[in-house]
Amino acid sequence: MKRIIIDMDEVMCDTMGAMVAWYEKEYGLDVDYTKMKGSWQLGFPEQHKMIIHERLFSRGFFRNLAVMDGCVEVIKQLNERYEVFIVSAAMEFPNSLNDKLDWLNEHLPFLTWRQVVFCGDKRMIEGDYMIDDHTRNLVHFKGKPYLYSTVHNAAETGYERINNWKEVAEIFL
């Protein structure tokens, strides 16, 4: 069985979307999507960057993120044909760990705790395929990497892209 490594933020869950919606409602200011190259946090006004950072550290933020369209159904099918591991670089945000585990248990109850990995760096992760929105995670991967498209990686070249979960299904199912 081939092993597929799947990232959470910006791949399974709409982390940026939740932060943008909260910020625009709370502060009545727009984020600048043209400044998000490399990290969506860069699109927030300078004077509020610390607030965004603090929110990432707060309990609950990662618990209520929206699921990306089609993600649950496709992973459910992948789980029957592949060895699926959900690998999230969550360690920077200690309060996200249980939120992320609870989120997975709610939305993808067919996965078990054996299939979840929380780390800081992904260079020690081995598999046949990796789907991730950060090239810093894909660059060390020895299997086939797929860049999951999102605003912050729009300018990246050099990786085969996946734009949505319909495409994940087309490639892997």
Residues recognised as catalytic: 7, 9
Shortest spacing between CB 161 and a copy of itself, in angstroms: 23
Report the C-alpha gap between 84 and 82 in whole angstroms. 6
Q: Cβ of residue 95: shortest distance to a copy of itself, in angstroms?
A: 8
- Listed in sequence order, the residues at least 6 apart from 85 whose beta carbon sits closer than 8 Å to its beta carbon are 3, 4, 5, 6, 115, 116, 117, 125, 127
> Closest Cα partner for 152 from 131, 135, 173?
135
Q: How far is the CB of 47 from a copy of itself (least distance, A)?
A: 27
Longest dimension (CA), the chain: 49
Closer Cβ to a copy of itself, 129 or 148, answer by number: 129
Closer Cβ to a copy of itself, 48 or 55, answer by number? 55
Using CB under 8 A, list all residues that contact a copy of itself. Answer: 3, 5, 85, 87, 91-92, 94, 97-98, 101, 112-121, 124-127, 142
Report which secondary-structure segment, H or E, holds 122: none
Q: Between 43 and 127, whose beta carbon lies closer to a copy of itself? A: 127
Report the alpha-carbon angle 64-113-74, nearest 5: 65
Q: Which of 123, 137, 169, 142 is nearest to 10 (CA)?
A: 137
To 10 degrees, the CA torsion angle through 57, 137, 105, 97? -30
Residue 131 CB, nearest distance to a copy of itself (Å)? 14
Nearer Cβ to a copy of itself (124/155) = 124
